[in-house]
Amino acid sequence: MSAQALVNAEKGTSLWADAWVRLKKNKLALFGLGVVLFLIVIALLTPWIAPYGYEEQNLELGATPPSAAHWLGTDLFGRDLLTRLMYGGRVSLAVGLIATSVALLIGVAWGTIAGYVGGRTDAIMMRIVDALYALPFIIFIILLMVVFGRSLLLLFLAIGAVEWLTMARIVRGQVLTIRNQEYVEAARAMGLSTPRILLRHVVPNSLGPIIVYATLTVPQVMLLEAFLSFLGLGIQPPQSSWGLLISYGAEVMEDYPWLLIFPGLALSITLFALNFLGDGLRDALDPKASKD
């Protein structure tokens, strides 16, 4: 065995390098990752690369099918659909990412504390999660939107506050196994404080499932936002999102079908990509978890 091979063998592979190798083999997941990265870049650059201004109208032009000047056509006010899709995508993605972060923060904190402290605290905290699971959340979100007005911030919080339950369960399960590992015991023996143990040892070691579930939560959240916007209870004009564009397109689809089809495609492809990426990450990071 050559010296180089020995070095390679000894270096071993970290969890992340290992996961990346596995992810690379999954074509669908790579496609999903590509689409997601592409969308994020587009969303970040929209103000500079959008072909027209967001407010730009051309009432004389009216609704036109896709053409060289307007790749995806225009709506009844002569507004460029591609431009509106790009700006709408920013809102949809932002809702997806921010609401997922809210869910992540609450879920990880809740699950970690319940799992690590254990005992009666754990029992009470998880019974609360069980009870909340039984609540009809979709109705509750609509109720919140009615009561507190239809603000974007509230939408983030309401959706985030709903989606943390599963995250809490997953994290708790992880923490229950991690807290009895030797390295945690060693950290405790060294006299580290509990918050420090949690932040330095417990949370980083349950990152795999957390990332997987977060990736799968983003499409759910985007779907929920689009659902609310479709009903007129989510994003309000003049702001736009894909759900709102679909709702608008559905009203006029008989005469201007492209106004429905392109926003629908944008949303569907994004949801597809995120789901494939999430499934791929699950296989790569958490091979033990089953698919359904």
Partner 1 sequence: MLRYTLLRLLQAIPVLFAVITATFFLIRQAPGGPFDAEKPVIPAVKRALEAKYNLDLPVWQQYTQYLGDLFKGDMGPSFKYPGWDVHDLILSGLPTTAELALYALLVALVIGVLAGVFASLKPNTAQDYIPMSLAMIGICMPTFLLGPLLVLMFGFWLEWLPVTGWGDLPGDKILPSITLGAAYAAYIARLTRGGMLEIMSQDYIRTARAKGLPEWVVVTKHALRGGLIPTIAFLGPAFAGLLAGSFVVETIFQIPGLGRFYVQAAFNRDYTMILGTTIFLSTLIIIFNLLSDLLATWLNPKLRSQFRGGAV
Question: Which parts of this chain interact with partner 1 (CB under 8 A)?
Answer: 131, 134-136, 138-140, 142-149, 219, 223, 226-227, 230-233, 243, 246-247, 249-250, 253-254, 257, 260-261, 264, 267-268, 271-272, 275, 290-292
Q: Considering beta carbons, is residue 197 or 277 the nearer one to partner 1?
A: 277
Q: Report whether 239 contacts 150 (CB < 8 A).
A: no
Tokens matching residue 210: 């957390």
Q: How many CB atoms are located within 10 Å of the residue 24 CB?
A: 13
| C-beta of 40 vs 231, nearer to partner 1 | 231
Residue 109 Cβ, how far from partner 1 at the closest point, in Å? 22
Contacts of 138 (CB under 8 A, 6+ apart): 224
Looking at the Cβ atoms of 109 and 250, the one nearer to partner 1 is 250
d(CA 184, CA 277): 32
Least Å from the CB of residue 271 to partner 1? 4
Residue 66's region, left for phi above 0, alpha for psi from -120 to 50, else beta, is beta
CA distances from 73 to 15, 55, 87, 92 (A): 47, 16, 16, 21
89 vs 112, which CB is nearer to partner 1?
Answer: 89
User: For residues 225 and 95, is the Cβ–Cβ distance under 8 A?
Assistant: yes
For partner 1, the closer of residues 157 and 207 by Cβ is 157
In angstroms, what is the minimal distance from the CB of 286 to partner 1? 17
CA pair distance 87, 91, nearest whole angstrom: 7
Rounded to a whole number of angstroms, the minimum distance from the CB of residue 230 to partner 1 is 4
53 pairs with which residues across the strands?
none
Q: How far is the CB of 184 from partner 1 (least distance, A)?
A: 32
Q: 258-285 vs 27-49: helix axis angle to the nearest 10?
A: 130
- CB closer to partner 1 out of 44 and 146: 146
Residue burial 207-238, b: 16+ Cβ < 10 Å; e: rest = ebbbbbbbbbbbbbbbbbbbebbbeebbbeee
Smallest gap, in angstroms, from Cβ of residue 35 to partner 1? Answer: 12
Q: Which two tokens stand for residue 256?
A: 């201007």
* Minimal distance, residue 261 CB to partner 1, in Å: 8
Q: In terms of CB distance, is 47 or 257 closer to partner 1?
A: 257
